[in-house]
Each structure stands twice: as structure tokens, then as C-alpha cells.
Amino acid sequence: MRRTVTFELGNRKYKFTTTDPQNEVDETLQSIKEEFENYSEMVEEYGYDRILLMMLLNNVHEKLVLKNRIAKMTERLERRGNVE
């Protein structure tokens, strides 16, 4: 079911539409809030846009690192004959 979710980050509110299960939405938003708290002291100096961009860049970088690690692990397992 499609629904609109309102998300508060710092002193701003954001709305988005999703069909994802509520538990996944809650977990995602909680993770974003926790990461944002790490940078909250820098918001006044750099602004929301730069902080959110930095968070996005960090997340994309982490995703690429994990993707590469998984590819290497899969390759090793395939060489050992453990994966079909």
C-alpha cells in the first residue's frame, strides 16, 4: 500500500511516498537520524545541504566497498568450488 511518510531531521521536515514495509521504513529513518546526529554540530557551519550530501557520499562509498568485498568473496568461493 502506497503511503506518505513525514520524516523530521534536525529542525526540518521531509515527506516521501513509499510502499516499503513499516519496519523497513522505521529502521532506515532511525539509521539516518543516528548518522545525522554525528554531524549535527556542523549543520550551522556548513548547512543542511552539505551535511546531507556528505552523508550520501559516505553511504554510496560504503555500498561500493561492500559490493567489491562481496564480489571478491564470491570469486574466492567459486574458485574453491563452493558456489554453483
pLDDT of residue 40: 86
* 58 vs 14: CA distance, rounded Å: 21
C-alpha cell at 4: 506518505
* 76 vs 79: CA distance, rounded Å: 5
pLDDT band, very low/low/confident/very high, at 83 (cuts 50, 70, 90): low
Q: State which H helix or E strand residue 41 sits in.
A: none
Task: Please write the tens of the pLDDT for every residue from 26-51.
Answer: 999 999 999 999 998 899 899 999 99
pLDDT of residue 6: 96
Mean pLDDT across the chain: 93
pLDDT band, very low/low/confident/very high, at 84 (cuts 50, 70, 90): low
Q: State which H helix or E strand residue 8 sits in.
A: strand 3-9
DSSP 3-state of 6: strand
Domain boundaries, the chain: 3-80
